Each structure stands twice: as C-alpha cells, then as structure tokens.
A and B are shown apart, each in its own frame.
Chain A
C-alpha cells in the first residue's frame, strides 16, 4: 500500500540520548514535513523539505535536525533529548508545495517519551 512509513511506532528515551525518527514515502512526493502534536495544541511544524537536497526550519526547530538526501527519506534527529520533546511526531508529504487542494498524506506517527 502506497503511503508513508514511520519508525519506530513508539519509544521511551532517556534524557540526553540521541535518536533518529525515520520516515519513508513511496509516492514520489516532492515536499515532506515533520510535525509534533501535543495535547491542546495544533500540529506544529518542526522542519520541512520542499524537494530533495533542501530543508527549512518550521515553527519549533530547536533541538531537532533533518536531512533530505533523496526523495523518499526524511529522517528527524534529536541530538540530545529533553523531556519537553515528549510528544507524538508525524511525518507528512505533499505532491507540491502549493498543495493544489490535495493536502498532506500523514504517516501513522511516533509516540516519543523522554524521561
């Protein structure tokens, strides 16, 4: 089934450790995004990539880094995790930056707990 695969599904991480959340899509979408979703808040954009080889900062980029070496993969790295990074992380993709009404396709999410 075409779509976005995120791994792991959930993780408990000790504060100060590093971790990479994986995201792979097979739809050949140009644009990819990482969001975090916290209770009572809307989805907040961490980083985005409009096309392979380029990345940009979103609303809440501090403490996170991304890379986009190819079209399909868009990993998110936490260099040194802190408890405030406890959240549900969603990866998403879209066919074009302008969306053209088709919106985003989301992965199933990674639930991360930093202790």
Chain B
C-alpha cells in the first residue's frame, strides 16, 4: 500500500528553527508537496520538490531525497503565526496526491 509518515505533533520556540520530516512509500513518484493548514482553514501551498536537493523560499526550505523516500520542511526564525499543521503529499504514478496526516506545529513564546 501507499504510505506517508509524519510526526503527529512538534513544539518549538519562537525565533528558533524546526525541521518537520516526511517519509513515503508510494507507487511511483512525480513530486512532493508541502502545505500549511491553520486550524479551521484550507490548506495552502508552500513548496514543491521533484528533484533531489534543497529548495529555499524565504524562511521556509524543503529538501527531497528520492532514493531514501524522504523529505523535510525547515522553518527558520519561527513566528507565532507559523503555528499550524504542515501536510506532506506525494504525487504517485497516476498523478494522484497521497496525503500524510499532517504535523501539528506548536510555537511557544
């Protein structure tokens, strides 16, 4: 079967750095997305990786290793507004998105 694994919850301190990991086993791979979802709201697009390596976008960076079935989202200079759930999703061989359950990130002052 297809599976996406992420930690259920993480806690970090305002101003610090946090890394959210995602491992996947899917039938084929056509890219990996990270989405942010604030409580009670819709998911919003953060990043997309299809090649190995690090993609940096402001305070957020996303890394992919296809050989290891592994990605992480790195958030720097954490702000209180970064408290949200972070969803990892993989595009499989049929171009369907397979979603992880999400990681709830709690930021403390």
Contacts and interface: CB of A to CB of B under 8 A. Distances in A.
Interface of A: 40-45, 48, 58, 90, 97-99, 101-109
Interface string B89-109: 101000111111110000000
B101 A103 contact: no
A106 B4 contact: no
B30 A98 contact: yes
Question: Contact residue range for chain B?
Answer: 20 to 34
A103 B97 CA distance: 9
Given A106-B42, A106-B44, A98 B101 contact: no
B101 A42 contact: yes
B101 A40 contact: yes
A26 to B, nearest CB: 16
B48 A90 contact: no
Nearest to A38: B101
Contacts of A99: 30-31, 48, 91, 95, 97
Question: Which 4 pairs across A and B sit closest by C-beta, in order of nearness?
Answer: A42-B99, A106-B42, A101-B48, A43-B99
A104 B97 contact: yes
A43 B85 CA distance: 12
B100 A101 contact: no
Contact of A42 (B45, B91, B100): B100
Contacts of A58: 96
A98 B92 CA distance: 10
Contact of B35 (A97, A98, A102, A103): A103
Contact of B42 (A44, A48, A90, A101): A90
